[in-house]
């Protein structure tokens, strides 16, 4: 059996970090080992929302420091343990919601942050 939430977190982190999902281990620290800052974690949460097509409790991320803790939050968010048999590789492309403007939500967040930072 495959831990669906772990694979979901690995996939979202791998997309954000541009690394192989299998490089992500439960015991890794998000900031120290993977280099994620709080904004990165919010962007990963947006990616999880995009994949699951549901709103992620971003406030629950404040205390998250490891991959295992993030998997726990995703497990609670998705309604418990969902173990299943999954294909060995994540899908090549995830579905993306689009705004009326045609911009994906994650891209829109990055654009707005960039504009605020650049004046």
pLDDT in tens, 34-55: 999 999 999 999 999 998 888 8
- Total-model pTM: 0.66
Domain ranges (residues) in the chain: 2-118
Nearest to 109 by CA among 10, 34, 42, 36: 42
Helix (H) or strand (E) holding 16: helix 4-17
pLDDT in tens, 68-83: 999 999 998 877 544 4
More confident of the two residues 100 and 7: 7
**What's the topology of domain 2-118?**
1.10.1200
Contacts of 24 (CB under 8 A, 6+ apart): 9, 10, 13, 14, 34, 67
């Amino acid at each position: 059996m495959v831990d669906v939430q772990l694979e979901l977190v690995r996939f979202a982190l791998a997309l954000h970090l541009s690394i192989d999902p299998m490089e992500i281990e439960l015991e890794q620290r998000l900031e120290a080992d993977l280099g994620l800052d709080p904004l990165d974690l919010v962007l990963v949460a947006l990616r999880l929302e995009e994949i699951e097509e549901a709103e992620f409790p971003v406030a629950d991320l404040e205390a998250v420091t490891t991959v295992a803790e993030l998997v726990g939050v995703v497990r609670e968010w998705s309604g418990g343990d969902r173990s299943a048999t999954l294909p060995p590789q994540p899908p090549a492309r995830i579905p993306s919601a689009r705004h009326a403007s045609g911009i994906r939500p994650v891209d829109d967040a990055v654009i707005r942050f960039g504009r605020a930072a650049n004046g």
